[in-house]
Structure 1
């Protein structure tokens, strides 16, 4: 196997908390729309939104526990 010709790029620093919060907002909007539609939609979709919000909240809790939500000062 030949050696790489150039060094690997540095890893990207992504604000994962922001990504999770944006996803939570999207699921919350979908939940509100589904609740406004009432009986015209299957309840599976409503529970999908609820589960997504619960799992994302748990994910933020794990991120806080692991210390990933600390502010980085450069």
Structure 2
């Protein structure tokens, strides 16, 4: 088992424009759903309607992701603000 144990520290996570990335991905999934919707009959004939519903599921999960990353971003900003604020003087 020691053979598979990593010998170095894990790198720090990359931070970037998380909220716009998730919003963009959600929009992309929803657009793909809308583009495939007129061809639903074609997908149904080939028993491949899961393609359409996968895009809708991606858009729905993306909405949950948007909610999550916005809350996370707000919490990170609150923590950074609290860290910079001076501690109240004890009386």
Scaled by the length of structure 1, the TM-score of the pair is 0.66
Cα distance, 1:50 vs structure 2:
1.1
Scaled by the length of structure 2, the TM-score of the pair is 0.55
CA 1:15–1:48: 2 relative to 1, 3 Å? same
CA 1:20–1:32: 2 relative to 1, 3 Å? same
**CA RMSD, aligned part only?**
2.2
Aligned to 2:83: none
SS of 1:14's equivalent in the other structure is: coil
More helix, by proportion? 2
Aligned to 2:65: 59
Structure 1: runs of 5 or more not aligned: 1-9
Cα distance in 2 for residues equivalent to 1:48 and 1:40 = 16
Structure 2: runs of 5 or more not aligned: 1-11, 78-91
